Amino acid sequence: MALLRGLWKLLVGIKDLLVLIVMLLFFGLLFAALSIAPNNVIPGSGALVVDLAGTLVEQPSDTDPFTLLTGNQPVSRETRLRDLERALGAASTSGNIKAIVIDLDGFLGGEQAVIAAAGNAVDKARAAGKPVFAYATGYSDDGYQLASHATEIWLNPLGGVILTGPGGSRLYYKGLMDKLGITAKIYRVGTFKSAVEPYMRSDQSPEAREADQLLANSLWANWQADVAKARPRAKLANYIAQPATAIAAAGGRMSSAALQTGLVDKLGDRNAFNSRIAAIAGEDSSEGINAFKTIPLHAWVTAHPEKTSGAQIGVLTVAGEIVDGEAPSGTAGGGTISQLLLDELAHKRIKALVVRIDSPGGSVLAAENIRSAILQAKGLGLPVVVSMGGVAASGGYWIATPADRIIADPATITGSIGVFGIIPTFEGSLTKLGLSADGVKTTGLSGEPDIFKGTSPQFDALMQGTVEDIYRRFTMMVAQSRKLPITRVREIAEGRVWSGSSARQIGLIDRYGSLDDAVAEAAKLAKLDPKKVRPLYIEKPLSTWKHMLTEVLGSDEQSDEAMRQGGIWNNMAGRPERILLRALADAQQVLMGPAIQARCLVCTSGQTPRPGDRESANKLLAWATH
């Protein structure tokens, strides 16, 4: 029987392999056919439709094609910020684009600074005379921030506007770890390095609470200022302060309250909205009643590639968690990114370097690997400008220290200059199970870290000393880079997180601006005319076959449509799961990641999904229960 079972498993494995090969061949032929066919034909004129179902990101994640094939993990759509900015820029000067439609049903959000950058691109299109229309069944903070920049904001009569502001609860694991007998050996520097607090406390420390509250207040003030500037007629403050009063005054209808307070311009369903766009962009009778001539975002982006003439300014993107070794796009692999830059420097074709950082940090060694490559660029005489995206904190700020200039957004989250180490041990777990551990040593560090008996005082002293040494180096790098006294750096460091607006006041950044501003600044430092340069993105291109599989399998039209139909209600219903997944994924990265890390866990919203969250959460649960 054992032989038969083994033979059966072998046959099933061969069958699965053959099916996979057939599917790859099929989709390869399909992709080739679609590539030859004119599948991206753009109508002569119409409305540019920006469908933002999913998230708006700095750099999309390189989806694992085998995950797509097996269907084991849902894939959230991601729209790249620079593609959106380029599309809106091209639309603003094109006579073929009669209107711009921003579809925010199914929008799951993005970092505040990223959304602000998209809003600036919308403002430029409006300034060029293009009408911009936003539509959603309901708006939350992220969606409304972007929609506020539109010419007209439409809201489904059954929907509403729910503005909550930053903040919320975090999971604290100390009580659970005590029950399981798991001890977290923590080594840290920084009063405000709260990434490790969930493993040593059951609640937030007063220092962390004070710092987090100041950060949330600053981000909320920036959000309100952005929205108020984009839509001054909205009675924003009153609606935020007393939403129930506004809804009661509108007869209990949330949509009517949004209309009466000027948060939206029109109430109407899809049919009414489509009819409004058709009157401007032209009707498309082939698609049915009220349909309008549509130009999809992806087709428009393909038809308007990035600039190819002019002196080249290198743009190196560091996006996502910083990890050791190789990593796909959307995760900042220290080995991958440093090698990409070194390979580019060998070509000797870029005149300056811009480092675009959108990362909460991670591995210290990986961050130093990337920083070392940037220093190679400086050694060749290239000016270096850092452009901060939504987050450039902890290890992300470590990478920024070689810069000649640092440019950020007021809503950028940065700082978190601190270091920590964490090692879980299981002596308590063994006791609960009636197990014990014993052995011999030849030195005080033999068998360390001893996860069965607990770490020794000698090992603890070694780890704490290493963390303190790295922290001293971190603060010295910041002091030299920012030309600040070391005593001042230590005052603003200690792991404390700052918004871009606060960071400018204390000297951690130089000025506000976008990626385009950073490229222009780099050109000036290289003594070049900013109008005669172009960015050369130093990144790993997506392979053709991965692109093919992602295009064919990566979008779930039924899921997207379900999200549109449910609007804000589906979004809010899914928020608890996203927050829980993010919390478990963060715990997995801390407990099972590098022993010494420069990471900020309070820097990113737990409401915005990340592609690897579910896998990381499953790893943690499997680790804790086996």
**Catalytic positions, written as ranges:** 193, 394
Backbone angles phi, psi at 487, to 5 degrees: -65, -35
Backbone angles phi, psi at 618, to 5 degrees: -65, -35
CB 105 within 8 A of CB 567: yes
SS3 259: helix
Tokens 């056919």 sit on residue: 33
CB 277 within 8 A of CB 101: yes
Backbone angles phi, psi at 102, to 5 degrees: -110, 105
Pairing verdict, β 511-512 and 405-408: parallel
Q: Of 153, 107, 106, which is closest to residue 133 (Cα–Cα)?
A: 153
Q: What's the angle, vertex CA 198, arms to CA 195 and CA 202, rounded to 5?
A: 145
Residue 422 structure tokens: 């964490």
Q: CA dist 23 to 67, 557, 609, Å?
A: 13, 20, 29
Give the DSSP letter string of 122-153. Answer: HHHHHHTT--EEEEEEEE-HHHHHHHTTSSEE
Dist CA 225 CA 240 (whole Å)? 13
Q: What's the angle, vertex CA 414, arms to CA 413 and CA 416, rounded to 5?
A: 120
Dist CA 238 CA 409 (whole Å)? 27
The residues pairing with 357 across neighbouring beta strands, listed in sequence order, are: 318, 388
Dist CA 536 CA 550 (whole Å)? 25
Burial 490-508 (b: 16+ CB within 10 A, else e): bebbbbbbbbbbbbbebeb
Residue 322 structure tokens: 């910083």
Dist CA 22 CA 2 (whole Å)? 30
Q: CA dist 467 to 26, 277, 331, 359, Å?
A: 53, 59, 24, 21
Answer whether the bond into residue 449 is a cis peptide, omega within 30°: yes
Q: Of 375, 379, 418, which is closest to residue 399 (Cα–Cα)?
A: 375
Give the DSSP letter string of 329-391. Answer: TTSEEHHHHHHHHHHHHHHT-EEEEEEEEEE-EEEHHHHHHHHHHHHHHHHTT--EEEEEEEE
At position 230, the amino acid (one-letter code) is A
Backbone angles phi, psi at 412, to 5 degrees: -60, 140
Q: Of 58, 53, 57, 101, which is closest to residue 77 (Cα–Cα)?
A: 53
Tokens 């830059």 sit on residue: 341
